[in-house]
Amino acid sequence: MLVQIAAAVLWTVGLACGSPSHGENEQSFGYDSGELDPSHWANEYKTCSGKYQSPIDIEENLVTKVNLPLLRFHNIDTLPTSTTITNNGHTVVLQLNYTAPVMISGGPLTPTYRFTQLHFHWGVNDSLGSEDLINNHSYPMELHMVFSNTDYDDEKIALTKNDGLVVLAMFFEITQEDNPVYSEIVNTLGQINMPDQTSNLLVGFTIRSMLPESTELYFTYKGSLTTPPCLEVVTWIDFKHPIQLSHNQVQAFRMLRSKHGQLTHNSRPVQELSGRPVWYNVGGFAALNTPTIQKNTAASFGLAISKIFMLLCCKLATLTLF
């Protein structure tokens, strides 16, 4: 188990500055039918059969609507000093190196979290590929930005805590035109076609450029890593509005290879919700909390109290779910 957790650290929090994660004792999991597919992960990684696993199907008619404080991003407009891109045999991982860290706080989060890496999940065609579903709808690709809790000095320790990680999830939909923000990434995929290959981006990109236009509208819930050992340490933030990519850009990811063949897909099937609350942030927190002259003081006071109560309930549930 300690070996599995150590392997998960390399996979989850940055792959040792972009270096390949594989070796003679590489993680034994895959996505094609067979002994390594997701239905068999729990045979070797018992935590993959946990109660609060990810991904899930988010049914909008079952979520609880909340109005959380704004997400606060730090240093997201700065270009990294260097960017490495790696085919680790399971996905494409990008490691961005900064002189000052990229951070996130606010929203449903009590601590501050530091950016560690981002990676992608995709499907065999444009009708499926995302891990989380919205109303049983799958998008062709999903981007995960991984952040580690700064309350813990060691990122390995964060992987043992139920508030250890935050993952920002962004969905993609197909459009005719290429998305220029992703052009350098897609154009570099040919240099990392085989597993364990790494290259560098000459220009790179800012974190802001990878985010959707609106970061106010999102779903959030407590869950797990979507790859073994599936540790239940993640606060998920799934942005509602998708980002656009062309078919050719998504198709380029499907041409990569793993150690078991072509990496046409790498998405874990949805898991049981198991009674977990899923919240939908409706946005507009800043407007709702701007001081205004109220004609009905009593009604305004009651509305303010109800908002505070809703926020406290959401925070409390986040802290005590596990």
d(CA 133, CA 209): 24
CB contact at 8 A, 24 and 248: no
Cα 126–chain centre separation: 20
CB contact at 8 A, 181 and 172: no
Task: Give the residue among 193, 196, 142, 146 at the shortest CA–CA distance from 166.
Answer: 146
Task: Give the residue among 185, 241, 209 at the shortest CA–CA distance from 73.
Answer: 209
Taking CA atoms, 122 is separated from 115, 235, 297, in Å, by: 22, 21, 52
- 184: part of which helix (H) or strand (E)? helix 183-188
- 74: part of which helix (H) or strand (E)? strand 71-74
Please name the residues in contact with 311: beta carbons below 8 A apart, sequence gap of 6 or more: 66, 67, 68, 69
Active site residue 90: yes
Task: Count the helices and strands in the chain (H runs, E runs).
Answer: 9, 17
CB contact at 8 A, 109 and 235: yes
Catalytic residue among 22, 74, 90, 260: 90
Task: Give the residue among 254, 280, 299 at the shortest CA–CA distance from 126.
Answer: 254
Name residue 99's amino acid. Answer: T
Q: How many CA atoms lie less than 13 Å away from 240 in the CB half-sphere? A: 15
Residue 38: DSSP 8-state: G
94 pairs with which residues across the strands? 85, 118
Q: What are the catalytic residues? A: 90
